[in-house]
Chain A
Amino acid sequence: MEYDLPSDFDIIVVGTGMVESIVSAAASRIGKRVLHIDSNSYYGGLWASFNLDSISKIPEGNRSQPVVENKENEIVYPVGNDVFDLRIHSQKWHIPESNPEKDVDESDSAVAQEEHEWTQEKLLKISRKFNIDLAPKLHFAKGDFVELLISSNIARYSEFRSVSRILTWLNGSLEIVPCSRSDVFSSNRVSVIEKRMLMKLLTSCVDGDENEFKGYEGKTFQSYLKDRKLTENLIHYVLYAIAMCTDDTLCLEGVEKTKRFLGSLGRFGKTPFLYSMYGSGEITQAFCRLSAVFGGIYALNQSLNGFIYDNDNTFKGIICGKQRINATHLVMSLEKLPKEIVDFSTTEYISRAIFITDKSILEDEREHLTLLLFPPVDRKAACVVLELGSLTGTCPKGLHIVHVFTKQTVNPEDDLKHCVEKLFCKREGESNSSPSILWSFYFSAPNTFSQKLECEKLLNTYVCPGPDLDLDYDPAIERAKEIFERIYSNAEFLPRAPDPEEIIIEGEDNNNIINETEERAEVPADQGDVSSELAHEDDT
């Protein structure tokens, strides 16, 4: 579509990842004029979800064309760098392309019921039933993210499913982690004495009596658990599953993590965790929708040719195709940062694998949403495994999507191999009780949260990191809030947006034609000076 964007904004946000989208929503919410653009044709950047067909086409990165014009007294930087791109290792099918003997014109439900007959053709035909996350996230039921969704009223845009069980790998098999009181008491893997010990320990972690941890300041959480005379099994449950720690995690950090877990129990479902229906990519879009509803202008698939700065490196605007668009502030995702500005040499990576499988890693009568915390073994770091079924709206009935990830040490395949081999069938076509992998995708994603958020060289420019290893969005929210507060130091961060039902529109009763209708929702915060950029300039 050919169109011109308005040419003057308070803030331009480049990239629709999580941090950018929160900043965009927060700025629109207080009445700032926001332009939010993305060179991709989809929302979410490195935080997006894709269907099966489109994930096979995701670009590793995108660069702008070299800049055309350079005016006097200004510097134009090209867009993008290749330091923070995804690195795709392999994307493979493990099933035949098609099955010539069978009639392929079957309806969805028939396909789902049929066993062991999956073909690439069949899966691609129902490609849209898949929502495959590049950065799957879970949410602590009482964590910062859930509280922010509720307090800002963005919650109305999304729905969640609770994780229905938490597993760990213990003594060569999958075990259910008893996390709530009822789990502890009903578990037949835990003896009566262990039950008492576990309850006592969890209670003392939660109550946080200072004396309890005296002397453990420099010691590990593991040593604390050992001193409490917990059995090996219990130490495993608490250390690797509940607290999600390593052997080296310090005691007080372990206690904090235990509290984070326990504090979120009992609000929704049986575990502390929620997952966003239709994939984690929905979440960035919920923030974008709020931004749009409060006046933010959106343009995806937007060719972006350069960032304009004046001679003292103060941000002036951007070049989009032939258009120049001015703004006071620029917020952008790290991968959009001009190449010559990037001075980061080392980058951490996350090793990720995504599988489509034909059954659950631990079969049960009902479908589960499973979180498996695979403990560290030998010199391999702990892995997080998230198994999603059709009830999450991310895959068709009868199949599962499994995400496996860990901090990168070598490469995705080598980092995850030990875990993957234990959970799935080893050879193609071999059928035992483990699920088979129908499709696999290994890639590395940059873990950029340790990067600085302001580039010293460029003024009024703020940089947003990509996805990190935290299970939830806590670090992303913190970053977004930090950026927002630097730009608008006195403004409220995402005050509650009214529900549509709370907005009363009063029309004129007698005279049905009103000229020059000026309407505006008088919402809390300094919404008063919203300018009406959106009035029709184009039709007369």
Chain B
Amino acid sequence: MGAAIFVKASVVTRYCDSRQKHRQSAASWRDSETSFEQQKGHDRFFEMSNLNQSGVKPKDHLYKILVIGDLGTGKTSIIKRYVHQFFSQHYRATIGVDFALKVLNWDANTLIRLQLWDIAGQERYGNMTRVYYKEAVGAFIVFDVTRVNTFESVSNWKADLDSKVQLPDGSPIPCVLLANKCDQQKEGLINSKSKMEEYCKEKGFSSWYETSAKENINIDEAARTLVSQILLNDKLINDSNKDGDQFSLAHTNDVKKKSCNC
């Protein structure tokens, strides 16, 4: 008995090769005017980055949040607890998943979808690609209250984060510090609330929480705090200048798939 991850059967459709590409090209050139116009009205082709879809439906937000911190501090546990409501002593690497999606009914007319990006266990040596940081609007930095050295790394993680991602106006993205495994014996600065407050202020954290993925302590609260910080920047995030010349190629495939039966 345990958790299982599987893929909806429908996506297992194999990609068919591009042989027909050349056959199509002649026609598409001649029709280029018309097909260009048609596509324009067709969201699928002109879908901007999905992070900016909120422009279409004003009350539906999609935010990318990073979860970073030293090895074994509980990043994956926190995400699993928050999104899938379970905890385990032994996780194995989750293969093939970029992020976990959490849907929040923020208030009566605001739906918020959070993409929580874990450090792929594989990138644990601290070498995340820019793809990981790109367009993130908030972050959690996690340390383990039982291991002081994981707290010492926090300021490095914060500096690294601020150097790799900024809001469109150049300011740092909101970041909440999580002192995880608070169900255990605590070591170091974490034992003094006032010193922690001071530390967070100095390092530019929006806030901090003692959390436990095991006992489900403060995780929802921390997320709510981060989201309300992100909402303050909402206008800034959506104002980023995107015009009709910018494209995401994702989902372009869907059309193609329909037209071939191999």
Name the A residues within 8 Å of B244 (CB-CB). 269
- A481 CB → nearest B CB, Å: 12
Does B57 have its Cβ within 8 Å of any Cβ on chain A? Answer: no
Contact (Cβ within 8 A) A502 B4: no
Does B22 have its Cβ within 8 Å of any Cβ on chain A? Answer: yes
Count of chain B residues with a beta carbon within 8 Å of a chain A beta carbon:
82
Name the A residues within 8 Å of B92 (CB-CB). 517-520, 532, 534-535
Residues of B12-28 contacting chain A, CB below 8 A: 12-15, 18, 21-22, 24-26, 28
Contact (Cβ within 8 A) A514 B1: yes
A159 to B52, CA, bound (A): 12
Does B204 have its Cβ within 8 Å of any Cβ on chain A? Answer: no
Contact (Cβ within 8 A) B86 A507: yes
Contact (Cβ within 8 A) B7 A298: no
Of the listed stretches B115-123, B172-180, B223-231, name the one at the interface; the rest are far from the partner chain.
B115-123
Contact (Cβ within 8 A) B26 A536: no
Supposing A285-B131, A518-B92 touch, asked if A267 and B1 sit within 8 A by C-beta, the answer is: no
Contact (Cβ within 8 A) A155 B252: yes
Supposing A159-B248, A162-B245, A266-B31 touch, asked if A206 and B122 sit within 8 A by C-beta, the answer is: no
Does A503 have its Cβ within 8 Å of any Cβ on chain B? Answer: yes
Contact (Cβ within 8 A) B8 A504: yes
A45 to B251, CA, bound (A): 30
A301 to B101, CA, bound (A): 32
Does B250 have its Cβ within 8 Å of any Cβ on chain A? Answer: yes
A513 to B81, CA, bound (A): 10
Contact (Cβ within 8 A) B25 A206: yes
Interface size classification for chain A: 35 or more
In this complex, the member of B120, B127, B247 whose beta carbon has the largest number of chain A beta carbons within 10 angstroms is: B127
- B2 CB → nearest A CB, Å: 5
What residue in chain A is nearest B166 (Cβ atoms)? A128
> Chain A, 117-148, contact with B by CB distance < 8 Å: what is the 0/1 string?
00000000000100000000000001010110
Name the B residues within 8 Å of A263 (CB-CB). 21-22, 24-26, 28-29
Contact (Cβ within 8 A) A297 B3: no
A residues with CB within 8 A of B: 1, 3, 5, 43, 108, 128, 142, 144, 146-147, 149-153, 155-162, 164, 180-182, 202-203, 206-208, 259, 262-269, 274, 277-278, 282, 285-286, 288-289, 292-301, 369, 391, 495-508, 512-524, 527, 530, 532-536, 538-539
B residues with CB within 8 A of A: 1-8, 10-15, 18, 21-22, 24-26, 28-33, 35-36, 39, 45, 49, 71-72, 80, 83-101, 115, 120-123, 125-127, 129-132, 134, 163, 170, 214, 216, 241, 243-250, 252-253, 256
Which 7 residue pairs across A and B have the least CB separation, nearest first?
A263-B25, A266-B32, A534-B93, A155-B249, A521-B96, A151-B15, A285-B129
Some 14 contacts from A to B, beta carbons below 8 A apart, are A265-B29, A289-B120, A496-B14, A500-B98, A500-B100, A502-B8, A507-B84, A508-B86, A515-B88, A516-B89, A516-B90, A519-B3, A522-B5, A539-B72
